A and B are shown apart, each in its own frame.
Chain A
Amino acid sequence: MAILSLGNSERLFWLGRYSERVFTGIKFLLARPSWNGSCFDENNSESVHFSLMRAYDNAIVLRDEIGSDTFSYVQLAVYEMKNASRSRTPLVGLQKVNDNIAAFWGMADDSISDEHVRGIIKLGKRVERVDLYARNNADSEDIRREIHRLIYRIAKTGLHYDGARLSALNALAGGESINRPEVVREVESLINFSGT
């Protein structure tokens, strides 16, 4: 196991979260017919461009943890985002952003040898996906599946987490109907870096 600073463990987690926020954000955009271009507003914290730049901010300081090849897909996603914003077919451009995010995850999985480093990125991704699905009224079965994937992942990271909240999430996933606001509350408080 490589030595990993607290700062880098937090950055890896947020790299996972922001990359997922971009990916799912674009997936939602592609699925919806309405379009006003606000996703390219880099200063709007709700936009996918903003999320991508935050993923980049984390990735650029993690080159030694994740490797240049893995980093390069985040860099390529940034270039594709700029191309998409100038394109006559911006949604097709956004699809290319997601191609690179998917490649980034694949490369991270394939080339990062330290399982904790890999695991923390994936944990960030899982936390964000549960959060986004619950906030955006995704199908209950999809939310359940993502909660189970999160539970499976969390123990592999070595990060400290709130066991009571994890149990609560598990119980929420097992209920007949999903209480989405509860899911958001529990998942947002699951990992607390200041307490590790």
Chain B
Amino acid sequence: MALTAEELCSYSDNVNEQLARYGVKFGIYKNGEFHEQLFPFDVIPRVISHDEFAYLERGLKQRVSALNEFLRDIYSRRRIIADGVVAEEFVYSGSGYLVPCDGVSPPGGIYSHISGIDLVQGRDGSWYVLEDNLRIPSGASYPLIARELCRRTIPDAFTGRALEDNSNYAELLRRTMDHVNTGGHPVILTPGRFNAAYFEHSYLAEQTGARLVTCDDLVVENDRLYFTDYSGRKEQVGAVYRRISDEYLDPVNFCSESLIGVPHIFDIYRKGNVAIINAPGNGAADDKGIYYFVPKMIRYYLHEEPILHNAPTYLPYYEQDMSYVLANFDRLVLKDVAEAGGYGVVFGSKLSHEQKEEFIRMMKAEPRRFIAQEVIDFQDIDIYEDGVRVPRKADLRAFVLMSDEAAVWKCGLTRFSRNPDSFIVNSSQGGGFKDTWVMSE
């Protein structure tokens, strides 16, 4: 018989012990020192009904398809700019746009192979997209292993529940890598153990059967990428799921000071001799400023109305929006487009008079740098804390994997704030995570 939420909570320590046993951690730098921390797991899952997820699935596929079209377009014909749908300044002045990617067509024509779309659900039940992550979205490994360990620890919690199995993430990811593989082994390229998401890198390598490598293991020779084994034998690599950001990927083509990249990997990528997952240059499409234009992209490329909604967003870059932001400053949330991980987020109502004046001065000086959004009063989700259930803010990162077709993983990373007064759910700022149960009927 299925357990009640209260009964489920009584197993919280047991599940967290299992997660500790398997080293389910993330890294964080404090005062210049690296620390490994367990990622706090809350045993009460977020539950999404079959119909509701079917709606999300349609909307996510639509959104990611449009974003892929956008990337293809801005690195080739630039129709969307010529037609005046997206302002040029928002594409080419952002740090995510990479000039060397101009005219490069990635293997299989796919740019965002793995997309992490952050959503929240308002109190009225409506879902809003808060952010698109098309570079190296992380987090899928946590609910993946948590589900397995919960099933082991509390099998009764799953009895009699029509629940979608989430254990296929590794299969979806491997299919995504294989689909664009240009011939050779698939690898996961990690910056190394002292990366915040190292657990994820190593766990996904184990689960997919792809080799976990660092830059020292790879070499470009004769326009091909090779992995050198311990006997000196070279094996060709055809797909690189890189967990290194664009600027550090190739010291010859990008940041020359990078010690974690592979020299010339971008050159052979440009020639179509290796797949890089996700494609370099995707930052041009997941910039917080570009987010504003995604519904327009959907209409432009797909000739469809957007299924999922953005949070109401304003660009101070536009005069009309600047006026609105100034008039409504205290009830808006302002975001620095260059920041991530919950940083650079400011609630107008929480600023002192002086801070507000200073912020407005900055915004007027660099209007392209900020967006403003209505604060979505998103639904609280219960967590179990110190023996009682308490409501906390939570979001959902949904994962869309693109191979021969787009597939939405029937799960997702639900992150919650442990601070009752905070909307910030990021693990780097003390947030925890939950499993996401998608019902199968």
- Can you name the residue of chain A whose Cβ is closest to the Cβ of B206? A64
Residues of B close to A68: CB separation below 8 A: 22-23, 145, 203, 206
Assuming the contacts A61-B193, A63-B203, A64-B212, asked whether A196 and B231 have C-beta atoms less than 8 A apart, the reply is: yes
Structural contact, A8 and B20, CB atoms closer than 8 A:
no
Task: Given A64-B211, A64-B212, answer yes or no on A6-B230 (Cβ-Cβ < 8 Å).
Answer: yes
Task: Please give me the residue from chain B that is nearest to A9 by CB atom.
Answer: B230
**A67–B203 alpha-carbon span in the complex (Å):** 9
Say yes or no: B230 contacts A8, CB within 8 Å. yes
Asked whether B227 lies within 8 Å of A5 as measured between CB atoms, the reply is yes
Contacts of A57 in B (CB 8 A): 193
CB within 8 Å of B: which A39-79 residues: 57, 60-61, 63-64, 67-68, 71-72, 75-76, 79
Q: Which of B1-42 contact A (CB under 8 A)?
A: 20-23
Q: Give the distance to chain B from A89, nearest Cβ to Cβ, in Å.
A: 21
Asked whether A158 is an interface residue with its Cβ less than 8 Å from the other chain, the reply is: yes
Taking the nearest CB of chain B, how far is it from the CB of A86, in angstroms?
16
In the assembled complex, the Cα of A9 lies from the Cα of B198 at a distance in Å of: 20
Verify B206–A3 contact, CB threshold 8 A.
no
A5 pairs with B213, CB closer than 8 A? yes
Indicate if the CB atoms of B202 and A4 lie closer than 8 Å: no
**Which of A8, A76, A196 contacts B21 (CB under 8 A)?**
A76
| Cβ-based interface call for B216 (8 A) | yes
Please, how many angstroms separate the alpha-carbon atoms of A158 and B9 in the complex? 50
Number of interface residues of B (CB under 8 A): 27
A140–chain B nearest beta-carbon distance, Å: 34
B258 contacts the other chain (CB 8 A): no
A4-B229, A4-B230, A159-B230 known; A75+B212 contact, CB < 8 A? no
In angstroms, how far is the closest chain B Cβ from the Cβ of A74?
Answer: 9
Task: Give Cα A119–Cα B377 distance, bound, in whole angstroms.
Answer: 57
> Are A158 and B206 interface neighbours, CB within 8 A?
no
8 Å CB contacts to A: which residues of B180-221? 185, 192-193, 198, 202-203, 205-206, 211-214, 216-217
In the complex, how many angstroms separate the beta carbon of A84 from the nearest chain B beta carbon?
17
Q: Which residues of A contact B228 (CB under 8 A)?
A: 5-6
Q: Is the CB of A67 within 8 A of B206?
A: yes
A23 to B20 CA separation, bound complex (whole angstroms) = 22
Q: How far is the CA of A61 from the CA of B217 in the complex (A)?
A: 14
> Which residues on A sit within 8 Å (CB–CB) of B230?
4-6, 8-9, 158-159, 196
Contact of B202 with A158 in the complex, beta carbons under 8 Å: no
Is B235 interfacial (CB-CB < 8 Å)? yes
- Indicate with 1 or 0, residue by residue over A1-27, a CB within 8 angstroms of chain B CB atoms: 001111111000000000000000000
Query: How long is the Cα–Cα vector from A51 to B231 in the complex, in angstroms?
Result: 28
Query: A residues within 8 A CB of B205?
Result: 63-64
Q: Name the residue of chain A whose CB is nearest to the CB of B205.
A: A64
Contact A6 B23 (CB under 8 A): no
0/1 string, B233-247, CB within 8 A of A gives 1 = 101000000000000
A-B CB pair tally, cutoff 8 Å: 65
Report chain A residues within 8 Å CB of B212.
Answer: 63-64
Residue in chain A with minimal CB distance to B204: A64
Q: Once bound together, how far apart are the Cα atoms of A165 and B231, in whole Å?
A: 20
B80 → chain A, closest Cβ, in Å? 41
Known: A3-B235, A7-B217, A71-B22. A60 touches B193 (CB 8 A): yes
Q: Judge whether B23 and A71 touch: CB under 8 Å.
A: yes
A7–B193 CA distance with the chains assembled, in angstroms: 13
A66–B396 Cα distance when bound, in Å, is 32
With both chains docked as a complex, state the minimum distance between the C-beta of B167 and any C-beta of chain A, in angstroms: 14
Q: Give min CB distance, A43 to chain B, whole Å.
A: 15
Are A6 and B229 in contact (CB-based, < 8 A)? Answer: yes
Known contacts A7-B216, A64-B206, A64-B211, A79 near B229 by CB under 8 Å: no
Q: Which residue of A lies closest to B192 (CB)?
A: A61
Q: Which of A4, A79, A159 has the most CB of B within 10 A?
A: A4
CA distance A61 to B188 in the complex (A): 13
What residues of chain A lie closer than 8 Å to B206, measured between beta carbons? 63-64, 67-68
Chain B residue numbers with a CB within 8 Å of A72 are 21-23
Q: Which residue of B lies closest to A76 (CB)?
A: B21
Distance between B152 CB and nearest chain A CB, rounded to angstroms: 12
CA of A75 to CA of B24, assembled, Å: 10
**Contact residues in B for A60 (Cβ distance below 8 Å):** 23, 193, 198, 202
CB closest residue in chain B, given A193: B230
Write out the residue numbers on chain A whose beta carbons fall within 8 Å of the beta carbon of B229. 3-6
Nearest B residue (CB) for A5: B217
11 contacts between A and B (CB under 8 A): A3-B185, A61-B193, A61-B202, A63-B202, A68-B22, A72-B21, A72-B22, A75-B21, A76-B21, A158-B231, A196-B232
Given contacts A4-B229, A61-B202, A68-B23, 19 further A-B contacts (CB under 8 A): A3-B235, A4-B230, A5-B227, A5-B228, A5-B229, A57-B193, A60-B23, A63-B23, A63-B202, A63-B206, A64-B211, A68-B145, A68-B203, A68-B206, A71-B22, A75-B20, A75-B23, A79-B20, A196-B232
A contact set with B: CB distance below 8 Å: 3-9, 57, 60-61, 63-64, 67-68, 71-72, 75-76, 79, 158-159, 196
